[in-house]
């Protein structure tokens, strides 16, 4: 039997302001943490919005073509 712990990254994908992704990811983590702990699994949240990536961080939907940030227009 291995003593190495298992880490599962919970990717929270939405980077738009006001997106529901972070709340949904937090709900998922809270819901499955008890079972994950029983299995010796560490859940690690990874919110893409916190990584300050220069894409999909506009308030408007991408199909609208309304871009506030210069990096999006480029």
pLDDT at 57: 75
Task: For residue 30, give the DSSP letter.
Answer: H
pLDDT at 28: 94
> Is the pLDDT score of 1 beyond 60?
no
Higher pLDDT, 53 or 39: 39
H or E element at residue 22: helix 21-38
- Find where tokens 């302001």 sit: 17
Where does the pLDDT of residue 40 fall: very low under 50, low under 70, confident under 90, or very high at 90 and above?
A: very high
> Is the pLDDT score of 23 beyond 80?
yes
């Amino acid at each position: 039997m291995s003593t190495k712990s298992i880490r599962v990254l919970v990717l929270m994908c939405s980077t738009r302001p006001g997106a529901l992704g972070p709340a949904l990811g937090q709900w998922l983590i809270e819901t499955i943490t008890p079972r994950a702990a029983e299995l010796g699994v560490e859940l690690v949240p990874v919110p893409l919005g916190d990584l300050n990536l220069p894409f999909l961080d506009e308030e408007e939907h991408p199909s609208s073509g309304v871009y506030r940030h210069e990096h999006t227009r480029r």
